[in-house]
């Protein structure tokens, strides 16, 4: 690389700040979540591509601690729009911005440059942490990226993290949580493989299911079930939509009278079925929900929240809104201005969920649009409703 021709991404300060964070913040976070650290010497491999499953917001910290050096992570472009907080993150750790649901050539070029400068790149291939404890679906493009970078491929697995803090949960649970390097595959081994084969290999190696790949311990905490209606928004017994609630360790349905305990191993106890894992219940819920939406064209789903437009370096808060998904599209009503805007489904590329309660809409010719929901609203249901409605709109 010629001097002054292009900016250098790998900075000495990044490694210094990693060491500082490892002393000041990491021990507290590991203690709070019960995380067991398994160190790995990455220096023997040199610059590497690290791929991992994704279970908690703290995963980048745990992976970095494992290797004891700065890892440059792919991150949603959304984190770069949060003012001074974003600027601090960029200065300290230089995450690589990537637009969700889109191919980003700039991000790929930056990864290649980082590798040339001696840095390692980290990718949480699911993009989002799991809602139900199973592997979250991800794009096939990871295989192409592996072939382009030509780096040692380090496959990392988290176990136990989902049950420590399920994405739907209001409160964390105390249990056991760990992570480790599962396999290292060198370029000479995979260079003759196709991108599809590499993708399937990664998918197989990080396919951690919270109910199969267990650590054999209880996950206890206050109000274990609270928030579960954000995942299981329909009753698993009578299949009535939006009639469920949670209190303490129990899950209730007002339509059929169901009262079920969510236990310390992450199972919901149902009459006649006994303990059932959330992966199974989520799959059943979505199957019945899709059938319900197909048979009830008048159904709509509405939430109130704060409307935020996200730009490259800033966010613009636009006040309270009511959003409604129906068969004709997305309607946004701004309370103060009284504006009503309809976005048909062919104008919406995708809907995603950030963290627990932030809906992200990728709308044609609009800035990235976020709606911050109330804490008990199901952003997951809104995302799944959009996906089902969009499929139905293609058939009409």
For 92, the token pair is 């300290």
What class, spelled out in words, does domain 12-205 have in CATH?
alpha beta
Q: Phi/psi of residue 378, each to 5°?
A: -100, 95
In sequence order, the β-bridge partners of residue 371 are 307, 359
Tens of pLDDT, residues 262-287: 999 999 999 999 999 999 999 999 99
For 104, the token pair is 């980003």
Query: How far apart are alpha carbons 278 and 272 in whole angstroms?
Result: 17
For 162, the token pair is 């989902």
DSSP track, 192-205: TS-HHHHHHHHHHH
Give pLDDT < 50 ranges for the chain: 1-2, 101
Contact 279, 132 (CB under 8 A): yes
Q: Regarding beta strands 49-52 and 329-334, do their DSSP bridges make them parallel or antiparallel, or are they unpaired?
A: unpaired
Tens of pLDDT, residues 298-307: 999 999 999 9
Note the pLDDT of residue 139.
Answer: 79
Domain boundaries of the chain, sorted by first residue: 12-205, 228-295, 301-395
Tens of pLDDT, residues 115-172: 999 999 999 998 888 899 999 888 788 999 999 999 999 999 999 999 998 999 999 9
Burial (CB count within 10 angstroms: exposed 0-12, middle 13-18, buried 19+), residue 125: buried
Q: Let me know if domain 301-395 sits in CATH 3.40.30.10.
A: no
Note the pLDDT of residue 323.
Answer: 96
**Would you tell me how many other CB atoms lie within 10 Å of the CB of residue 69?**
16
The three-class DSSP label of residue 305 is strand
Note the pLDDT of residue 315.
Answer: 85
- Tokens 């809907």 belong to 351
Tens of pLDDT, residues 83-97: 777 777 777 788 888
């Amino acid at each position: 690389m010629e001097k002054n021709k292009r900016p250098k991404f790998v900075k000495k300060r990044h490694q210094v700040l990693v060491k500082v964070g490892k002393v000041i913040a990491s021990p507290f976070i590991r203690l709070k979540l019960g995380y067991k650290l398994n160190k790995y010497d990455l220096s023997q491999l040199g610059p590497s591509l690290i791929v991992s499953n994704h279970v908690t917001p703290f995963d980048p910290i745990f992976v970095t601690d494992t290797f004891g050096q700065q890892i440059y992570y792919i991150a949603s472009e959304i984190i770069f729009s949060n003012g001074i907080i974003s600027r601090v993150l960029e200065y300290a750790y230089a995450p690589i911005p990537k637009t969700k649901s889109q191919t980003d050539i700039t991000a790929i070029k930056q990864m290649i440059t980082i590798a040339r400068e001696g840095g390692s790149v980290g990718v949480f291939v699911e993009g989002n942490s799991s809602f139900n404890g199973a592997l979250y679906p991800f794009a096939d493009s990871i295989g192409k990226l592996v072939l382009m970078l030509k780096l040692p491929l380090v496959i990392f697995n988290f176990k136990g993290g989902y049950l420590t803090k399920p994405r739907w949960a209001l409160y964390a649970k105390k249990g056991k949580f760990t992570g480790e390097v599962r396999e290292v595959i060198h370029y000479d081994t995979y260079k003759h493989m196709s991108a599809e084969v590499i993708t399937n290999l990664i998918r197989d190696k990080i396919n951690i299911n919270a109910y199969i790949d267990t650590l054999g311990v209880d996950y206890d905490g206050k109000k274990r079930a609270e928030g579960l209606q954000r995942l299981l928004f329909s009753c698993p017994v009578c299949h009535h939509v939006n009639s469920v609630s949670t209190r303490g360790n129990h899950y209730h349905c007002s339509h059929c009278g169901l009262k079920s305990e969510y236990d310390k191993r992450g199972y919901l106890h149902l009459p006649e079925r006994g303990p059932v894992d959330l992966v199974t219940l989520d799959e059943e819920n979505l199957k019945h929900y899709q059938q319900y939406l197909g048979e009830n064209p008048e159904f709509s789903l509405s939430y109130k929240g704060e409307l935020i437009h996200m730009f490259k370096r800033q966010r613009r808060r636009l006040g309270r809104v009511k959003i409604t998904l129906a068969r004709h599209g997305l309607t946004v009503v701004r309370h103060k201005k009284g504006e009503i805007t309809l976005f048909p489904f062919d104008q919406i590329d995708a809907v995603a969920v950030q963290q627990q309660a932030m809906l992200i809409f990728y709308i044609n010719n609009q800035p990235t649009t976020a709606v911050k929901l109330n804490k008990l609203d199901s952003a997951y249901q809104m995302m799944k409703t959009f996906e089902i409605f969009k499929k139905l709109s293609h058939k009409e």
